[in-house]
């Protein structure tokens, strides 16, 4: 089981874990995204995570790093896990807007939903609630943008 899976089962967001453990959000995001391994974390970080999750340091160290040869999980859906609630709402609104637009329905609020999601992604990224990798994943998937 990965840290991400463990958090999902316990109903804890990465942001909340950062708050209760004192571990920087970026460290938790990197571990959950597969960019960092728990095994390479300091004993202090592992202790903080264990204390916050009410488990032993051994339990934390036993969490696996399910990754591909590139060092990242095979499924990109992990990038949508642990999003702040305001961003989840914007993503859901944009999903519905694309369904209407793609089906040919005359949906007059599509541009508002698009701008709201773009703003919320930027806000979450700048305030370090999501990683840059997550931000670009969301832009590419839901705003249909391409990186240059």
Q: Are 143 and 114 in contact (CB under 8 A)?
A: yes
Which of 75, 95, 110 marks a domain boundary? 75
What pLDDT shows up at residue 67?
53
pLDDT of residue 115: 97
CATH number at residue 46: 1.10.260.40
Q: Are residues 56 and 17 in the same domain?
A: yes
Domain membership of residue 18 (yes or no) is: yes
CB neighbour list of residue 52: distance below 8 Å, 6 or more residues apart: 17, 20, 21, 22, 23
The reply to whether 71 and 88 lie within a common domain is: no
Q: Is 71 in the same domain as 90?
A: no
Last residue of a domain, one of 58, 75, 92: 75
Residue 117 lies in a domain: yes
Instruction: Give me the numbers of helices (H) and strands (E) for the chain, helices first please.
Output: 8, 0
Both structure tokens of 70: 């590139």
Residues 13 and 56 in one domain: yes
125 and 94 share a domain?
Answer: yes
- The answer to the question of residue 34 being in a domain is yes
Let me know whether 138 and 109 are in one domain: yes
Report the domain count for the chain.
Answer: 2
Q: Do both 95 and 67 map to the same domain?
A: no
Residue 9's domain spans which residues?
A: 3-75
Reduced to 3 states (helix: H, G, I; strand: E, B; else coil), residue 43 is helix
Does any domain span residue 33? yes
Q: What stretches in the chain show pLDDT beneath 70?
A: 64-75
Task: Please state, in angstroms and as integers, the Cα–Cα distance from residue 108 to each residue in 52, 90, 111, 118, following that order.
Answer: 46, 16, 8, 17
Largest CA distance in the chain: 57
Per DSSP, the three-state class of 123 is helix
| Per-residue pLDDT at 6 | 86
Q: From CA 101, how far away is CA 87, in angstroms rounded?
A: 21
Distance, CA of 148 to chain centre? 22
Q: Is residue 107 within 8 Å of 101, Cβ to Cβ?
A: yes
**24-to-96, 103, 119, 139 alpha-carbon distances in Å:** 34, 43, 24, 24
Does 148 reside within a domain? no
The residue out of 75, 95, 120 marking a domain boundary is 75
């Amino acid at each position: 089981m990965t840290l991400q899976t463990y958090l999902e089962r316990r109903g804890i967001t990465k942001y909340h874990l950062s708050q209760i453990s004192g571990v920087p959000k970026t460290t938790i995001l990197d571990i959950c995204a597969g960019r960092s391994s728990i095994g390479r974390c300091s004993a202090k970080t592992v202790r903080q995570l264990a204390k916050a999750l009410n488990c032993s340091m051994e339990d934390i160290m036993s969490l696996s790093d399910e990754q591909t040869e590139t060092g990242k999980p095979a499924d990109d859906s992990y990038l949508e896990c642990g999003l702040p609630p305001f961003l989840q709402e914007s993503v859901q609104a944009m999903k519905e807007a694309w369904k209407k637009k793609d089906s040919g329905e005359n949906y007059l609020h599509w541009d508002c939903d698009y701008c709201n999601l773009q703003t919320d992604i930027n806000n979450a990224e700048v305030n370090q609630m999501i990683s840059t990798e997550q931000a670009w994943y969301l832009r590419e998937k839901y705003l249909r943008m391409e990186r240059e």
